[in-house]
Amino acid sequence: MDYGKLGAGLVAALNDYEREGRPALERHVGVLGLVSVSMSAKAARVVVFIHCEPGASLDHLATGGIEINGGDGGVRTGIVPLDALGRLTDDPAVKRVVPAVQLEPLMDLAAEKVGLPALRASSGLTGQGVIVGVVDTGIEVSHPNFEGRVLRVWDQTLNGGGVAEGGYGLELEGTMLELSRDTNGHGSHVAGIAASADFTYSGVAPGADLLIVKTDLMTAHIADAVRYIFRVAGELGRPAVVNLSLGGHGDAHDGTDPLSQIVDGASGPGRVVCCAAGNEGNDNIHAQFRLEPGCARTVPTAMLQVPPSTTR
């Protein structure tokens, strides 16, 4: 096992797992992308980002329960049994393995707050011809405000063969769309603000069509969702805007985390990603203490993720 290739949060979880067994993983489930923890019939696994050389083939690693999703860039996504992490980190093709972290749905803004009526009156823009992609808790397809405009749903929480960007979940279209349900409501709310066609409560782009990804909120799977939406929009010859009304604090907030790298790489002309920002600006989420002269204090940093190029 090359522990130097593992993200710090994963090292902490793995150490607990090796000392205390699977019950110790429960304390990490709400933060890291750990799955099958309480299912004794399955190996405990973790959803990860895998750093490697762009274009490198990792096919030889896809055995023994290791699953590596599609893509050929310098950061891939996948799922790995904890007991197989040693084989993954010992492989020279792998530079670093960073655990996915759990994000939260965040959305508290409305169209009125961004001056939508004045913009629409002056420009006449409705979003016609544009794809709005929403990566969230799903969508209530049968709602009349979205009628006929939801082109596809990739439900990452359903069992299925997945899509090109990842061999998990189920892609739905046509009459099959309603197999995916938004039991949370946040995704439908976000989609409504983005593209509702209601006369009174109109969204920002009531003329746009929708591509929806119901995500399990793992950062690696959110990255797959962004790539999926841009691929499908490209196949349709349409520009796309992807909305991520989600938040979390498992990274440095400076663009060096794997999800930000993938979003940056996928964005460009006709491909825009919008992310929630500022919702927790006043929250007390930072470590703080008073340090008296001659004293020392320790700050735990188990979730610190150091980019591969950073010298420690």
Chain segment 185-197, per-residue pLDDT in tens:
999 999 999 999 9
> Are 160 and 232 in the same domain?
yes
CA dist 28 and 16 (Å) reads 9
**Distance between CA atoms of 84 and 10, rounded to whole angstroms?**
13
pLDDT of residue 128: 94
Quote the distance between the C-alpha of residue 227 and its chain's center.
11
Question: Which structure tokens are listed for 100?
Answer: 């996915």
| Backbone φ and ψ of 230, nearest 5° | -65, -35
Percent of the chain residues past pLDDT 70, beyond the cut: 93
Confidence band of 162 (pLDDT split at 50, 70, 90): very high
- Compute CA 17 distance to the chain's CA centroid, rounded to the nearest angstrom: 25
Q: Do residues 93 and 185 share a domain?
A: no
DSSP element (H, E) containing 247: strand 246-247
Kindly report the CATH number assigned to the domain that includes residue 237: 3.40.50.200
Q: Are residues 115 and 164 in the same domain?
A: yes
**Pair of tokens at residue 266:** 């996928």
Q: Name the residue among 170, 136, 137 with its Cα closest to residue 152.
A: 170
Distances (CA, A) of 50 to 10, 80, 233: 13, 10, 26
In a domain? residue 288: no
Binning the chain into helix, strand and coil, the percentages to the nearest 5 are 30, 20, 50
Domain count, the chain: 2
Residues 40 and 184 occupy one common structural domain: no
How many angstroms separate the Cα of 115 from the Cα of each of 127, 204, 208, 257, 288? 16, 10, 19, 32, 38
CB 138 within 8 A of CB 187: yes
The domain in which residue 230 lies consists of 104-275
Residue 302 lies in a domain: no
Q: Count Cβ neighbours within 10 Å for each residue of 246-281 and write b for 16 or more, e otherwise.
A: bbbebbeeeeebbbbbbbebbeeeebebeebeeeee
pLDDT at 137: 96
Q: Are residues 145 and 213 in the same domain?
A: yes
Single out the residue in 99, 115, 142 at which a domain terminates. 99
Question: pLDDT averaged over the chain?
Answer: 88
- Tokens describing residue 172: 């739905």
CATH number reported for the structural domain that contains residue 12 in this entry = 3.30.70
Are 170 and 93 within one domain?
no
pLDDT exceeds cutoff 90 at 165:
yes
Using one digit for the tens of pLDDT, what is the confidence trace for 3-51? 899 988 899 888 888 888 888 888 888 788 888 887 777 888 899 999 9
The total number of residues written for the chain in this structure: 312
Angle subtended at Cα 301 by Cα 296 and Cα 304, rounded to the nearest 5 degrees: 140
Rounded-to-integer distance, Cα 43 and Cα 66, Å: 11
Is the model's pTM score more than 0.85?
no
Tokens of 111: 């169209």
Using pLDDT thresholds of 50, 70 and 90, give the confidence band for residue 300.
low
